[in-house]
Amino acid sequence: MSAVISNPIVWADVPDPCVIRVGSAFYMVSTSMHSMPGCPILKSVNLRDWELIGYVYDTLEDNEAHRLQDGRGIYGKGSWAACLRQHGGWFHVCFSSNDMDRFYMYRTRDIERGPWERHVMPGLLHDPSLLFDDGRVYVIHGNGDIRITELTADATARLPGGVDRLLLATETEGIGLCCEGCHAFQRNGFYYLFFIEWPRTGNRRRRQLVYRSQRLLGPYERRELLDDDLGYRNNGVAQGGIVDDGLGGWHAVLFQDHGAVGRVPCVVPVTWEDDWPVFGVDAKAPLSYATGLPASAPQPLAASDEFDYGSDRLGLFWQWNHNPDPRLWSVTERPGYLRLRTGMLASSVEYARNTLTQRTEGPACSASVLLDAAGLLPGDRAGLAALSSQFGLIGLRAEADGKRSVVMAVKGEDGGELVRESRPYAKDCIFLRLDCRFEEGEDIAEFFYSEDGAAWERLGPPLEMAYTLHHFMGYRFGLFCYATEHAGGFADLDYFRYRKVSGRTAADG
């Protein structure tokens, strides 16, 4: 039985996918920005079912911004549009970081286990694509004006005196966002440079292009490949590269802006006419198509966790919001619980350090936690968040008089937390639940609490989730505990229980 691709292949935030094939395995790298560990590596046997197998780095840099201690953080920055290539027994991942004004190259001989070597070069090489060509190594990069920069033969540094020049100037007339997101390939004596652009005319959505030449330094011919939205909000399916499947077929792995859940990867078939790639079916991205690749079981990208660990190292599904403080969290201090201790003071969950996150997924998903708040100090806040720039949360607040309240809050105009509903709560333990819906026409989060985990009370109005360029990421479930007055308190979370829901409403539990 062969696999049938259904788009999107993952209804979750896996942006800027870059895919290679090695033998019968496909590997993907994706953008992770401010989430740590970063640059997730995923594996598949059929381009449909992807398993998270690791990360390229635990933390990218160690400074106040990356530790979320400067009042701004690196939201919308960090690692951008990573490129994955394999050559000469080495796997390479490269990307730029806007906040650091640096270009990073990581490499390993074992993509599934590492370790990864790190090499850093000054300056930005925007949306880079590595190209290994006849013993030389190049990075093709840029926005509008596309440049080519030569690296050393081991791809770990810029080559002194090497090629570093404008490669081509892409179209500007009637274009809002000029060509970027390069993916460079060679086939049958041609060089292919795949880009996206965003026109101001016509359908006015992102579309996929290719530039082709028989000489690396040009001149290049241009052709439009795909201008389609899969029927979703006029959001173009675009930006990515091609991969052969080892069976004679070709595919393009692209992505689509998909509302508050984030940017979702899609796969379209590729055929060839006169050495030009042809994307899709009848110039459209198909909702589904058959492949000759083997069927396999779907793999989750978000999962439940009972926090039953033998050491303080979490499962791969978890990422921290910015660099964590390892002194202030543990899954062994109280076995079977995630303990989050407060450190620096914070004005809201958006700037609270040691917030632990997982992706949300469409069409709907739900997460619940059991929070033990006995360790909270006055001014402490702990709970469960729908984390993005326009966040919403439900949790407990410890008051100065020793009392507690359960609150639902959203981001206020001043950037802090605006309480939408609050109720007194006397017990130490509380069950919290957050339901998300990402169906056509709505991006909604709803918040619930319970004293016994069976009878649930809705708290506050639904949150209208909105994807913004401030975070540049889809919504995530966030487990948080932070102080507003004094450090030293803590919260214990007994479990995180996750459900991906196929129907309209997330189920109780």
- Token pair of 94, please? 């490269």
Distances (CA, A) of 270 to 84, 153, 260: 20, 31, 29
Helix (H) / strand (E) element for 392: namely strand 392-398
User: In whole angstroms, what separates CA 227 from the centre of its chain?
Assistant: 24
* SS3 letters across 408-465: EEEECCCCCEEEEEEEECCCCEEEEEEEEECCCCCCEEEEEEECCCCCCEECCCCEEC
Helix (H) / strand (E) element for 92: namely strand 90-97
What is the structure's pLDDT at 173? 96
Among 16, 99, 127, 350, which one carries the catalytic annotation? 16
Structure confidence by residue, pLDDT tens digits, 284-332:
999 999 999 999 998 999 999 999 999 999 999 999 999 999 999 999 9
Q: Is 245 a catalytic residue?
A: no
Q: Are 475 and 261 in contact (CB under 8 A)?
A: yes
What is the structure's pLDDT at 139? 98
Phi, psi for 220 (deg, rounded to 5): -115, 145
User: What is the rounded CA–CA span in Å between residue 162 and residue 334?
Assistant: 56
Q: Is 16 a catalytic residue?
A: yes
User: What is the rounded CA–CA span in Å between residue 60 and residue 429?
Assistant: 36
Q: Are 151 and 114 in contact (CB under 8 A)?
A: no
The residues of the chain scoring below 50 in pLDDT are 503-509
Q: Are 384 and 366 in contact (CB under 8 A)?
A: no
- Token pair of 148, please? 């080519």
Q: Are 341 and 493 in contact (CB under 8 A)?
A: no
Q: Please indicate, yes or no, whether the overall pTM of this predicted structure exceeds 0.95.
A: yes
CB-based burial label for 91 (10 Å; 0-12, 13-18, 19+): buried
Among 13, 99, 180, 257, which one carries the catalytic annotation? 180
What is the structure's pLDDT at 245? 97
Domains and CATH numbers, the chain: 2-13+62-76+85-287 (2.115.10.20), 319-501 (2.60.120.200)
Structure confidence by residue, pLDDT tens digits, 430-479:
999 999 999 877 999 999 999 999 999 999 999 999 999 999 999 999 99
User: What is the rounded CA–CA span in Å between residue 391 and residue 409?
Assistant: 8
What is the structure's pLDDT at 52? 98
- Token pair of 441, please? 């026409």
User: What is the rounded CA–CA span in Å between residue 317 and residue 162?
Assistant: 41
User: What is the rounded CA–CA span in Å between residue 306 and residue 315?
Assistant: 11
Q: Are 342 and 488 in contact (CB under 8 A)?
A: yes
